[in-house]
Amino acid sequence: MTLFCTEKVPLMILGTSSGAGKSLLTTAICRYLCRIGENPLPFKGQNMSNNAWIDEEGGEMAYSQTVQAWASQLVPSCAMNPILLKPKGDCISEVIHLGRSVGYANAQDYYNEWLDPGWSAIEEGIKRLIASKQSGRLILEGAGSPVEVNLQHKDLTNLRLAKFLNANCILVADIERGGVFAQIIGTLALLKPEEKKLFKGIIINRFRGNLSLFNEGREWIEKQTGIPVLGVMPWIEEIFPPEDSLDLMERRINKPNAEIEVAIIKLPSLSNFSDLDPLNAEPSINLRWIELTDSIGAPDALIIPGSKQTIKDLQKLKETGLANQIKEYEKEGGTIFGICGGLQMMGSTLEDPDMLETTKSYKNNYEGLGIMPIHTIFQKKKYLSQRKLFACWPGKTEIMGFELHHGETNLIGTTQTEFINFSEDSSLGWIKDNDDKGFIGGTYLHGVFDNGVWRRLWINKLRRRKSLKELSIEQSNHNERIERIINRLTDSFTDHINIKKVICS
Task: Output the CA angle 470-472-473, nearest 5 degrees.
Answer: 110
Residues 312, 269: contact at Cβ < 8 Å? yes
Residues 6+ apart with CB under 8 A from 318: none
Residues 6+ apart with CB under 8 A from 254: none
340 is annotated as an active-site residue: yes
Indicate the angle between helix axes 63-71 and 22-35, nearest 10 degrees.
20
The one catalytic residue in 97, 340, 406, 478 is 340
Pairing of strands 46-48, 83-89: parallel
446 is annotated as an active-site residue: yes
Distance CA 26, CA 141 (A): 7
Residues 6+ apart with CB under 8 A from 435: none
Task: Output the CA angle 266-64-9, nearest 5 degrees.
Answer: 160
Distance CA 412, CA 377 (A): 13
478: left (phi over 0), alpha (psi -120 to 50) or beta: alpha
59-to-55, 82, 401, 451 alpha-carbon distances in Å: 5, 10, 14, 22
The one catalytic residue in 405, 406, 446, 478 is 446
Taking CB atoms within 8 Å and a gap of at least 24, the contacts of 175-182 are 175/204, 175/205, 175/206, 175/207, 175/214, 175/232, 176/205, 176/206, 176/207, 176/208, 176/235, 177/17, 177/19, 177/20, 180/204, 180/217, 181/217, 181/220, 181/221
Q: Which residues are tagged catalytic? A: 340, 446
